[in-house]
Amino acid sequence: MSGTATIALAGNPNSGKTTLFNAITGARQRVGNYPGITVERKEGTVNVEDMKVNIIDLPGCYSLSAYSEEELVARKVLVDERPDIVVDIVDATRLERHLYLAVQFFELGIPVLLSLNMMDEARKQGLRIDRIRLSNLLGCPVVETVARSGTGKKELIEKALAHARERGGKWEPLEISYGPDLDPALAEMVEKIEATDFMTERYPARWIALKYLEADEDVMKAGKAIGGPAEALERCVEKTREHCRKTLNTSPDAIIADYRYGLINSILKQDIIVHEKTQQERIDFSSRLDDVLTNRLLGPAIMIGVLYAMFQITFTVGEIPMGWLETFFGWLGDTATAIIPAGLVQSLVVSGIIDGVGGVLGFVPLIAIMFLMISFLEDSGYMARVAYMLDRVLRIFGLHGCSAMPFIVSGGIMGGCAVPGLMATRTLRSPKEKLATLLTAPFMPCGAKLPVFLLLVAAFFSENEAQVMFSITLFAWAMALLVSKLVRSTIIKGDPTPFVMELPPYRMPTLRGVLTHTWERAWQYIKKAGTVILAVSILLWAAMTFPGLSEEEVAGFEAQRQTIAASVQTEEQQETLLTEIDNLQGQAALRHSLAGRIGTMFEPISQLAGFDWRTNIALVGGFAAKEVIVATFGTAYSLGEVDPEASDSLSRRIASDPTWNKFTALALIVFVLLYAPCFVTVVTMAKESSWRWALFSTCFNTTLGFVIAVGVYQFGTLFLI
Amino acid sequence: MPSSLRTLGVNEKARITSIDASGEISRRLRDMGLVPGTEVKVIGRAPLKDPVAVRLRDFTLTLRNNEADCIMIEKMEENK
């Protein structure tokens, strides 16, 4: 163990793992994905004297029973990477429940250090924990920590390394007696396993036997693939199960859990915890807060208030840095125009790259602020209450309380982004509810769709902007819920999955934690802008530039210009006429380009919803990224440099175009809201589910959007104009 | 007379006697600490009366009434 050592941080959700991880590693961390498994684990390094220590932050889990992907990941890391030691972070105020995971680590045999976290809170509640005694009874070092302030982290690392050194990488599985009904069966199975070295290079023999008794799908599947004694083991389990059912009316996994808790109780009963205050005296701040925040009447009202406040803050505060970025990209564009000689290269750099990527990066402040607040709500424990309060409603539509989060992140209160929203579906245990959430979350009015709505609302509904924007959000929610009801009762039928969730105690989030989460998510978005959207911007620029006009046509426009220049008029009049020609030429060139041809090709169909060829180009571009829609409109209406934020002039232009009316605008709003998710979202969806579903979503959403848009346009123009 | 957790009113306490479930949900409930002998107290219900929030082992758990149905309890003395 010279040079490097690996420490894995494990523990229940909400035990302060990530806070401790950040406190230990500082900013030196990277987020990595496990191949084949989507749940994230983080890694960071810290130097202790001469040693480089790798710290792995495992996803939070309640048990190693492989109920959720988190548990599977945690187990896989421990077994396959064999870290030198696992530090089990337990919430000192919830010792009994949190030791359940610790017992399973002991049974696995990996060296463990127990970190009693949140000691400050425990002391406040009048809890005294005899850690020396606990350490003796558990047979592992126990340290006290306060992750939020970083107290105890040095001792934790030192003791962890010392204990790992002492054990020298040897695994010593703890053998717990599971009583007269299971012990003989376990012994028999262990014998079979050891005789054939069945999976023993990965797991301890008794642990494998336990997993068989617990009917652990993951282990049993792996065992079946190997063969050997797998069948004999399964027969043995069957026999034991039958015996337990007949004599005790219970199942082996129930007995195992009971004995584990029994063991924990027997340890804790030995005067480990002293309550200095009586139950009555221990004021539980969280439950008092819950009396108000999840109150039957007040709770929902407060929830709406909180969400509305988030929306307000995001936009009022976000406007300021967005303005800075706008100015910066404007300056960058101007500089590039000045440096690069006019021509294709200048056009590529200015219109293609700077405008394209700049438009997307312009949203970074909005996204960062929104995530800042979501991280705050999440870390404070409020998001779990939202899931709790909304579960009953969401269940009606075949969803889960935990679906609320992905919807909100995707833009349920406007201005989100479906990419992190879809990633947030990982908290959903049930594949069916997860899929329904994945398919419907992209309907939300994400930050990229907003400029389109703002543009059209400013052009046609300027007298009641706020109400229209709010109605769009409500419509998005209604569509998301109705469509998920539709898919859950047709193509992804199935019973609802259990909703068993911990309501973590309310906590004041740490600034560091909130900032770290925000940065991680904002960075993901920036990366998307720098890679996919950059590529797409260039592609779109090319599609809107090539093929150019033929020489005769260019010559035709040139001749017109000459005529004007030669005519006897004031300079001002000439200028106006020349601009008009420029516009005409721009229009002709766009119509002639590949994108223009595609737009024109779709015109006969899209006319049903009132969309002309220019709108079609914008919509095709919008598949790449919704931000592109406004930018494309700008180009299509040949206003030259149009920035998605400065939509005023463009919106006037559109408002005065005779081909547009209120219903065209409404139809377009509906279509943009519902049609195919942007390219990056589709890729994310494919990663979270499969390419088949991603493709389905693309086709289904476009069809649905089109049908409703046609309905709105036709109904409006036939009856209301 | 054993009854299910669903019948327990807010602020009432009970002791779990058995878990009438099998498979995944049973394992999940046990992992979360709902094993026979555990004392539980209903501390609230969501605005639409479902799910229910339960206090046990110094933490708060929420579950739906459907899940509460398979947790059999015996009521304990009123303790407010």
Q: What percent of chain A has pLDDT over 70?
A: 93
Residue A36 has a pLDDT of 33
Q: What share of chain B is helix, strand, coil (3-state, %, to 5)?
A: 20, 40, 40
Which residues have CB under 8 Å from A461's CB, separation 6+? A468, A662, A665
Minimal Cα–Cα distance from B72 to chain A, Å? Answer: 13
Residue where the block lists tokens 């709790």: A388
- The residue assigned the tokens 């758990």 is B61
Residue (of A49, A365, A100) closest to B56 by Cα position = A100
Query: What rounded mean pLDDT belongs to chain A?
Result: 85
Q: What mean pLDDT do residues A667-686 have?
A: 91
Mean pLDDT of A300-313: 85
Token reading at A70: 């988190």
Cβ separation B64–A498 shorter than 8 A: yes
State the pLDDT confidence band at B28, using cuts at 50, 70 and 90.
confident
Q: Where does B1-80 show beta strands of DSSP type E?
A: 3-4, 13-19, 39-45, 52-56, 59-63, 71-75
The answer to whether A253 and B26 are in contact (CB under 8 A) is yes
Give B80: exposed, middle or buried? Use CB within 10 Å, 0-12, 13-18, 19+. Answer: exposed
Sign, Cα dihedral of A28, A29, A30, A34? positive
**A216 φ, ψ (degrees, to nearest 5):** -75, 110
pLDDT for position A488 = 94
pLDDT for A124 beyond 60 = yes
Higher pLDDT, A322 or A185: A185
Say what the pLDDT of residue A415 is: 67
Q: How far is A412 from chain B (nearest CA, A)?
A: 21
Strand order in the sheet with B52-56: A500-503, B59-63, B52-56, B39-45, B13-19, B71-75, B3-4
pLDDT category at B6 given cuts 50, 70, 90 is very high
Q: Are B61 and B40 in contact (CB under 8 A)?
A: no
pLDDT band at A517 (very low <50, low <70, confident <90, very high): confident
- Residue A290's identity, in one-letter code, is D
Q: Would you call A392 and B45 a contact, using CB atoms and an 8 Å cutoff?
A: no
Q: Tell me if A615 sits within 8 A of A671, measured CB to CB.
A: no
Q: Quick check: helix, strand or coil at residue A414?
A: coil
Angle subtended at Cα A555 by Cα A551 and Cα A557, rounded to the nearest 5 degrees: 125
Contact between A683 and A694 (Cβ < 8 Å)? yes
- The answer to whether residue A391 scores a pLDDT higher than 60 is yes
Q: How far is CA B59 from CA A96, A234, A315, A501, in A?
A: 10, 36, 37, 11
Single-letter code of the amino acid located at A660: W
- Which one, of A601, A636, A594, lies nearest residue A618 by Cα? A636
- pLDDT digit string (tens) for A38-90? 456 778 888 888 889 999 988 888 898 876 777 888 898 999 999 999 999 99
Name the pLDDT band for B25 (thresholds 50, 70, 90). Answer: confident
Q: Which residues contact A431 (CB under 8 A, 6 or more apart)?
A: none
- Asked whether the beta carbons of A433 and A399 are under 8 A apart, the reply is yes
List, for residues A584-616, the tens digit of each pLDDT value.
787 788 888 888 898 899 999 999 999 988 899
> What's the rounded Cα separation, in Å, for the pair A373 and A307?
10
Of residues A343 and A676, more confidence is placed in A676
A477 pLDDT above the threshold of 90: yes
Q: Convert the pLDDT of each residue in A1-21 to its tens digit.
A: 457 899 999 999 888 888 888
State the pairing for strand pair A127-129/A273-275. Answer: antiparallel
Q: Determine the distance in angstroms separating the CA of A290 from the nearest CA of chain B, rounded to an integer.
A: 9
- Asked if B18's CB is within 8 angstroms of A63's CB, the reply is no
At A621 the pLDDT is: 83
Tokens of A490: 């047709």
Q: State which residue of chain A sits closest to B62, comparing Cα positions.
A: A501
* B contact test, residue of A72, A212, A503 with most B CBs within 10 A: A503
Asked whether the beta carbons of residue B26 and residue A261 sit closer than 8 angstroms, the reply is: no
ipTM here: 0.92
What tokens does A159 get? 């003791």
A190 to each of A76, A174, A210, A215, A476, how far by Cα in Å?
A: 22, 14, 9, 16, 56
Contact A500 B58 (CB under 8 A): no
Check if the beta carbon of residue A669 is closer than 8 Å to that of residue A656: no
Measured CA to CA in angstroms, residue A56 lies from A30, A39, A74, A207, A353 at distances of 10, 13, 10, 23, 38
pLDDT in the model for residue A278: 63
Among A22-26, A242-246, A643-647, the range with the most confident prediction by mean pLDDT is A242-246
Mutation target to probe the A interface, by most A beta carbons within 10 A, among B5, B43, B62 is: B62
Q: How close does chain A come to B1, measured CA to CA in Å? A: 18
CB A71 within 8 A of CB A89: no
pLDDT at A567: 76
pLDDT-derived band at A282, boundaries 50, 70, 90: low
Say how many C-beta atoms besides its own lie within 10 A of residue A131's C-beta.
Answer: 18
Query: How confident is the model over A379-396, as a mean pLDDT?
Result: 90
Q: What is the pLDDT of residues A542-568, one digit of tens each?
A: 888 888 778 888 888 888 888 877 777
Closest residue of chain A to B66, computed from CA coordinates: A498
Task: Give CA–CA dist A625/A532, Å, rounded.
Answer: 9
Please determine, for residue A276, whether its predicted confidence score (pLDDT) is greater than 50.
yes
**pLDDT average, residue stretch A522-531:** 75
Residue A45 belongs to what H/E stretch?
strand A40-48
**pLDDT tens-digit readout, A699-712:** 999 999 999 999 99
pLDDT given for residue A670 in this prediction:
96
- The larger pLDDT score, comparing residue A633 to residue A252, is at A252
Task: Give me the amino acid identity at B26.
Answer: S
The 8 Å CB, 24+ separation contacts for A138-142 are A138/A102, A138/A106, A138/A114, A138/A267, A139/A106, A139/A174, A140/A106, A140/A111, A140/A112, A140/A113, A140/A114, A141/A113, A141/A114, A142/A113, A142/A114, A142/A115, A142/A116
The per-residue pLDDT for range A395-410, each reduced to its tens digit, is 999 999 989 888 988 8
User: Is A700's Cβ below 8 Å from some Cβ in B?
Assistant: no
Output the pLDDT for position A31.
Answer: 45
Q: Is the pLDDT of residue A35 over 50?
A: no
Contact A679, A623 (CB under 8 A): yes
**Mean pLDDT across chain B:** 87
* Gyration radius of chain B's alpha carbons: 11
> Which residues from B are below 8 Å from A when comparing CB atoms?
18-19, 22-33, 35-38, 43-51, 53, 55, 57-64, 66-67
| Cβ <8 Å between A97 and B50 | no
Please report the pLDDT score of residue A604 as a whole number. Answer: 92
Tens of pLDDT along A68-82?
777 888 898 999 999
For A411-439, b/e burial (b = at least 16 CB within 10 A) is: bbbbbbbbbbbbbbbbbbbbebbbbbbbb
Beta bridge partners of A189: none
First to last CA, chain B: 22
CB B29 within 8 A of CB B39: no
Can you tell me the distance from the alpha carbon of A382 to that of A371, in angstroms, rounded to the nearest whole number?
14
Q: Are A458 and A465 in contact (CB under 8 A)?
A: yes
Q: Give the separation between CA A499 and CA A185, rounded to whole angstroms.
A: 33
Q: What's the pLDDT at A61? A: 87
| pLDDT at A626 (0 to 100) | 85
- Nearest-angstrom CA–CA distance, A279 and A300: 30
Q: By the CB < 8 Å criterion, does A386 face chain B?
A: no
Q: Which residues of B touch A72 (CB under 8 A)?
A: none
Higher pLDDT, A471 or A632: A471
Q: What are the structure tokens assigned to A304, written together?
A: 């709406």
- pLDDT band per the 50, 70, 90 thresholds, residue A281: low
Inter-chain residue contact A503 with B66, CB threshold 8 Å: no
Q: Is A245 on the interface with B (CB under 8 A)?
A: no
Structure tokens at A627: 């931000």
- Look up the pTM and report it: 0.81
The band of A280, judged by pLDDT with boundaries at 50, 70 and 90, is low
Instruction: Kindly compute the dihedral angle of the four CA atoms of residues B39, A258, B3, B58, in this order, to the nearest 10 degrees.
Output: 20
- Residues of chain B neighbouring A95 (CB-CB closer than 8 A): 58
Backbone CA torsion sign across A247, A248, A253, A256: negative
Q: Cα(A486)–Cα(A704) distance, rounded to whole angstroms? A: 12
- Output the CA–CA distances (angstroms, integers) from residue A529 to A174, A431, A535, B74, in the order listed: 51, 30, 9, 59
Q: What is the pLDDT of residue A283?
A: 54
Average pLDDT of span A568-579? 76
Q: Return the SS3 of A172.
A: coil
Which chain B residues contact residue A254 at CB under 8 A? 19, 26, 30, 35
A649 closest CA partner among A661, A637, A662, A667: A637
Cβ pair B58:A94 closer than 8 A: yes
Q: Report yes or no: A508 and A323 within 8 Å, Cβ to Cβ.
A: no
